[in-house]
Amino acid sequence: MPSIALVAPYMRTSMLHIPRRDLVLSAADSLFLRLVVVESDTPCAQSLQATNGIGGPGARIMVWSDRPGWLNDYGMLLPTQGQVLYNEPGVPLQNTGSFDWALPSGTMVGWPPRCAWCVQLTYGLAGVDVLLSGRLHMRPLGVTFGLPLQPLLTSEAVPVQTDSEEQVYV
């Protein structure tokens, strides 16, 4: 399961620049994402003090298709540009200014090869601020990179094992 931790500033020196984060994932991956919101984009900024109460800030992740028009990919129709694929609130961590998302394996299976995503800080009905955005590139199922794992062998070609008798791989 890929675990990603991101830091996003609440107050930016330029409101015209939204931090961009691009991700590459496999369609079969599960994902754990933690976002830490800091007060500003200065290097010594403290994390946002969120009360997590009624009216307190929340965070929401949104993923949508970034491919123009319908695409007939070997008989499978992929979503149109702008179609929302995933829209979930984050789970706030008490008084830390952090939010968590957990996407189980299989969530991204029907997503097109290129998606856009953003994280928004929400204040109930008071407003929404986009904290960061980016592109999500999906590797198709069955695509592997690199060679399969090989067991670590001793000089006598015996597999090396840990104390709990699990095999060690290179």
Amino acid, single-letter form, for residue 160: V
Q: What is the second-level CATH architecture of the domain 3-139?
A: Sandwich (2.60)
pLDDT tens for 87-124 read 999 988 877 788 999 998 888 888 888 889 999 988 76
What are the structural domain ranges in the chain? 3-139
pLDDT tens for 133-152 read 999 988 876 655 555 667 78
